[in-house]
Amino acid sequence: MANSLNSNSMYPVKHSLLAKSFHWGFVIIFIYGIYKQVQDIEQLEDNSLLRFELIFALIFIALLVIRFFYMKKTHQSSLPEDTPKIQKMAARIVHNSMYICLFLVPMTGISVGLFFAMGLKNSFLIDAFVGLHEFSIQAIYWLIGIHISAAIFHRIRKDGVWSSMVPFAKEK
């Protein structure tokens, strides 16, 4: 990773307004997705619900891909330069795993929806994709928990990482 400190500053890189908007926008979109999730696969019999779910998933994936490439091309890590390598590696693993899970959740949902629409309602394929979908959701919950815990850790340390992305309770 590139140097995470501004050349004229002792403080970590601050993320742009667009980066913060992507981050917090995904929090809102994800919460909405969890709130309105399909409770039972039989609900997909409703074609308007199935269509809505597919469109929502495709939009989510498109925004996720845009966010991923935007962040990779324009932003550096906010971790201070003296952060231990193991901690930097753990942060990278958690972030990349979050992207993978945030991609897998809608992709497996799309697969389930398409197989369901094709009449493969009680097939091995649907069962396999439902299993991967549920696993991805559980994994993302754990990863979000780790991510929030790390953010709180950095807030307590007052090393600038919290303030680089969080718009409230700024560090002094």
DSSP of 18-65 = HHHHHHHHHHHHHHHHHHT--SSGGGGGSHHHHHHHHHHHHHHHHHHH
Residue 3 has pLDDT above 50, yes or no: no
- Predicted local distance difference test score (pLDDT) of residue 11: 52
Q: pTM of the predicted model, to two decimals?
A: 0.84
Strand partners for 12: 5
- CA–CA distance from 157 to each of 14, 32, 89, 91, 150 (Å)? 17, 32, 19, 16, 10
| List of residues 6+ apart from 63 with CB closer than 8 A | 22, 25, 26, 29
| List of residues 6+ apart from 36 with CB closer than 8 A | none
- Predicted local distance difference test score (pLDDT) of residue 135: 97
Spell out a b/e string for 126-140, using b for 16 or more CB atoms within 10 Å of the CB, else e: beebbebbeebbebb
Residue 45 has pLDDT above 50, yes or no: yes
**Nearest-angstrom CA–CA distance, 62 and 26:** 12
Report the amino acid identity of residue 134. E
- Predicted local distance difference test score (pLDDT) of residue 8: 34
**Nearest-angstrom CA–CA distance, 8 and 10:** 7
Q: Is 76 left (phi over 0), alpha (psi -120 to 50) or beta?
A: beta
Picking from 97, 103, 111, the residue whose alpha carbon sits closest to that of residue 150 is 97
Report the amino acid identity of residue 52. F
More confident of the two residues 55 and 121: 55
Cβ–Cβ < 8 Å for 150, 156: no
Mean pLDDT of 125-132: 95
